[in-house]
């Protein structure tokens, strides 16, 4: 009888391990697809400014276009599509993830409130700027404004 309890416990542990492996496999695949989608969001470059994402529906909120990339390796013109709430920072799971040593993990929050955009610094070490003016409190921002965080400049665009 003692052996059957041990066997049942072992079977349960093996089942949990199998479920864990399957979970991590699906999580890994999800992350791969997420990275691929982000990499495919390159904006066409032309003399008329930023183009529309190839094959993508028009985003309701707009996008942040890289104007100056610092040391991130992103190309000028690369676009991050925006949702209603967008965390900008160094964390890989940020909505706008930027690998720059001058950025905090959660550097700034760009949020659509009602009918306008608001930018809020998240107590970052190096500050957040709109058109070279430092943001201390939640500040309204309009399309065409330049956000500077660290060595990176991003233009808010439709």
Q: Same domain for 28 and 65?
A: no
Q: Same domain for 68 and 144?
A: yes
Q: What is the pLDDT of residue 53?
A: 44
Local confidence band at 34 (pLDDT 50, 70, 90 cut-offs): confident
Q: Is the pTM of this model over 0.75?
A: no
Domain CATH number, residue 70: 2.60.200.20
Give the domain extent around 4.
1-43
Say if residues 63 and 80 touch (Cβ distance below 8 Å).
yes
Q: What is the pLDDT of residue 16?
A: 95
Q: Same domain for 72 and 39?
A: no
- Share above pLDDT 70 across residues of the chain, in percent, rounded to a whole number: 84
Query: Of 133, 41, 145, which Cα lies nearest the Cα of 95?
Result: 41
Residue-wise pLDDT for 71-121, tens only, equals 888 899 999 999 999 999 999 999 999 988 888 999 999 999 988 999 999
């Amino acid at each position: 009888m003692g052996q059957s309890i041990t066997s049942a416990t072992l079977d349960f542990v093996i089942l949990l391990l199998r479920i864990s492996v399957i979970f991590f496999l699906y999580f890994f695949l999800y992350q791969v697809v997420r990275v691929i989608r982000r990499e495919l969001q390159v904006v066409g470059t032309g003399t008329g400014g930023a183009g529309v994402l190839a094959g993508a529906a028009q985003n309701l909120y707009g996008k942040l276009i890289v104007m100056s990339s610092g040391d991130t390796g992103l190309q000028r013109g690369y676009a991050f599509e925006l949702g209603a709430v967008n965390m900008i920072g160094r964390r890989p799971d940020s909505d706008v993830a930027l690998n720059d040593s001058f950025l905090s993990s959660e550097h700034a929050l760009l949020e659509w409130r009602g009918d306008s955009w608001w930018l809020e610094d998240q107590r970052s070490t190096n500050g957040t700027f709109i058109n070279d003016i430092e943001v201390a409190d939640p500040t309204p921002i309009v399309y065409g404004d330049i956000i500077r965080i660290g060595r990176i400049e991003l233009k808010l665009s439709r």
